[in-house]
Structure 1
Amino acid sequence: MSEDKYPSESGRRRFVKGVVGSAALSGVGVGGAATVDIATQPSGGGGGPTPYVGIELVGGPAPRGMPYIPVEIADNGDIRGVWPEVEEVTEAGTTYEVAQTQIGGQTYSSEWFQYCGRQNAQGVVPSADQDNTFVSIDSPPYEWQSSELSGGDPLNIEHFSDYDSWGNEIGDEGVGKPARARWRSEGTDSVLPVTVIRSPLIEEKAQQDGEVGEWYSAASAQGVIAYMNVCTHFCCVPGYKVSGDAATYDIANGVYCQCHQSRYDPFSPEFGTFVALPRPE
């Protein structure tokens, strides 16, 4: 945590003025979102009402869950985030690129990550030539990750072999083993911060019938999930099994944002719609 309480990883200082607009737009109802989109959409930017799937918001001031990143495991065991195929979309006479595809019965789109200033990140440009492998951050909050990995090392499924028993004295053991990573951020100024978790709970839910099972069976792999770790309230970087204070808010086995006490359940999907901010040309 940096001295001004906002981690440098969050990029909070770089776009504090834009956060106000982000927070305001996040509260706009879908019925009025089209008006906002017309007023703010630049050529090639996209944005506007966007269906998404995120980890469920269970309490606090955040307006919605943080978006999942569908996962795949490479042949060598490296854990990768799925990036959709790029296509051109024309709306109101404007043509722009978007990366989107159908996953688990949902429309997965690069626009899921266009909030909290990340619409300016090179990594969310649909056609950006970026590696989709999740790589370790430089100073992770987990002892196992600090001792086994250096910054920039790819996360591999073997790093999570003890996922069904791992614990760190916060919450219960065996709920899920985490790692902090960055994604599609090599050589860029704006990092896409990610949390990766391998959990037996996800393996179980991927076998269920219905919308939840369909999503996890398609968007997870070998019990591994990932999500964009940027709080939808004021763009802070929350923690899964990082702070002992999480128990005070009954979220020791979930995701807790220390800045303003927003709480999320990473093992429960939230299917909703939000107003994605336009991506600059």
Structure 2
Amino acid sequence: MPLDEDKYPSETGRRRFVKGVVGSAALSSIGVGGAAAVDATTDAAGEGGGTTTFVAVENTDGPAPRGMPIIPIEINGGEISGVWPEYDPSQGVAIQEDFGGSGISYSSAWFQYCGMQTVEGIYPQADQDNLFRNNQGSFSWQDEYDSGAPLTVDMFSDYQEWGNGIGTAGIGKPASATWRSEGDASTIPVQIIRSVEIEKLANGEGKYSDVPGPVQSFISEATDQGFIAWLNKCTHFCCVPGFKTQEGSANFGGENAIYCQCHQSVYDPFSPVQKQFVALPRPPQTE
């Protein structure tokens, strides 16, 4: 079976610049469609691209070719962060081999699709922290907190009861966030859920007892206190989907899942899968 491919690899023609790189780095211009855009993003001189094995929230319906990559979580002092591995210059990516004893290598290449490969925070040595920060607008509860404030565990204390009238209440409390996107850097959109189902998943309990061993080991390390997170870019046409953000999702079986309103792709946040795709190389850095 052929590897999954991006149908829409880039989303902007604006020039971008990388923070934290000596002298900064002027990136190549990326178009929205056509052969020129594909050539610009897949040039052999790019960095960190190629066949990549990753763990994703599973795509269960719609035209999306694969799931969205999971971001491992760590919690320090109640603040929730995404794990960012160490830079390996020999591979041109940030990478942690054998993550959680799973045999799966967690890599920054997981996020090199849909134009994200041009974003400052995806560069392995970008000068960014890894906190998940509050992104107002998707859920009314988040509007009670300042935009850009770090997400904290106590914000999700009602996760076992929370509901917003979409689907079933009590299966998880979601938040929209940004990651590695502070200052004038381009936004990396993330969603995060705290759920009893994730607690069960991490422990391999009940229906989750048959999750494949490598994926189970990865998830046990990549989730914490019932939290799971993913890069929130639909792998179809790079839209921004959501868990319980669209009332119409029930018409497509997505009311208790991640639903993309653009073309009705559905993802299951409680079903992690291991897949392969061809990561798009980052535009080369220049002094």
Q: When the two structures are superposed, what TM-score results if normalisation uses the length of structure 1?
A: 0.83
1:190 is the counterpart of 2:193: no
Q: In the aligned structure 1, how far is the partner of 2:115 from the partner of 2:50?
A: 15
Note if contact 2:166-2:247 (Cα within 8 Å) is conserved in structure 1.
yes
Any runs of at least 4 consecutive aligned residues in structure 1 with deviations exceeding 6 A, and if so which?
none
Q: In the aligned structure 2, how far is the partner of 1:151 from the partner of 1:17?
A: 30
Q: In the aligned structure 1, how far is the partner of 2:122 from the partner of 2:50?
A: 15
Q: In the aligned structure 1, how far is the partner of 2:188 from the partner of 2:235?
A: 14
Q: In the aligned structure 1, how far is the partner of 2:11 from the partner of 2:33?
A: 8
Question: Are residues 20 and 202 of structure 1, via their aligned partners in 2, closer, same or farther at CA, if it must alter by over 3 Å?
Answer: farther
Residue 256 (structure 1) shift: 0.5
Q: In the aligned structure 1, how far is the partner of 2:34 from the partner of 2:232?
A: 19
1:100 corresponds to: 95
What per-residue deviation string (whole Å, max 9, x for no partner) do you get for residues 95-153 of structure 1? Answer: x531001324111100011111111111011011211000011x321111112x11110
Q: Secondary structure at the match of 1:119?
A: helix
Question: Are residues 246 and 129 of structure 1, via their aligned partners in 2, closer, same or farther at CA, if it must alter by over 3 Å?
Answer: same
Higher helix share: 1
Match of 1:47 among 34, 49, 63: 49
Task: Calculate percent identity across the aligned residue pairs.
Answer: 49
Q: In the aligned structure 1, how far is the partner of 2:34 from the partner of 2:63?
A: 14
Q: In the aligned structure 2, how far is the partner of 1:233 from the partner of 1:20?
A: 16
What per-residue deviation string (whole Å, max 9, x for no partner) do you get for residues 26-58 of structure 1? Answer: xxxxxxxxxxx9x73215x12010111111000
Matches within 5 A, 1:52-63: 52-63=54-65
Q: In the aligned structure 1, how far is the partner of 2:129 from the partner of 2:253?
A: 37
Q: When the two structures are superposed, what TM-score results if normalisation uses the length of structure 2?
A: 0.81
Matches within 5 A, 1:139-178: 139-147=136-144, 149-178=145-174
Q: In the aligned structure 2, how far is the partner of 1:216 from the partner of 1:273?
A: 17
Letter in 1 for 2:255: A
Matches within 5 A, 1:107-256: 107-137=105-135, 139-147=136-144, 149-208=145-204, 210-256=213-259
Q: Secondary structure at the match of 1:245?
A: helix
1:73 corresponds to: 75
Q: CA RMSD in A?
A: 2.3
Q: In the aligned structure 1, how far is the partner of 2:155 from the partner of 2:197?
A: 18
Q: Secondary structure at the match of 2:203?
A: coil
Larger displacement relative to structure 2 (200-209 or 109-118): 200-209
Letter in 2 for 1:276: A
Q: In the aligned structure 2, how far is the partner of 1:19 from the partner of 1:119?
A: 16
1:3 corresponds to: none
2:86 corresponds to: 85
Q: Secondary structure at the match of 1:191?
A: coil
Q: In the aligned structure 2, how far is the partner of 1:145 from the partner of 1:246?
A: 21
Which runs of no fewer than 5 residues in structure 2 stay unpaired?
1-9, 15-29
What per-residue deviation string (whole Å, max 9, x for no partner) do you get for residues 137-171 of structure 1? Answer: 1x321111112x11110000110111111111101
Letter in 2 for 1:81: G
What per-residue deviation string (whole Å, max 9, x for no partner) do you get for residues 52-81 of structure 1? Answer: 11110001111110111000001x200000
Note if contact 2:12-2:32 (Cα within 8 Å) is conserved in structure 1.
no
Q: In the aligned structure 2, how far is the partner of 1:194 from the partner of 1:213?
A: 22
Larger displacement relative to structure 2 (182-191 or 225-234): 182-191
Note if contact 2:72-2:222 (Cα within 8 Å) is conserved in structure 1.
yes
Q: In the aligned structure 1, how far is the partner of 2:33 from the partner of 2:242?
A: 20
Residue 24 (structure 1) shift: 8.0
Letter in 2 for 1:135: R
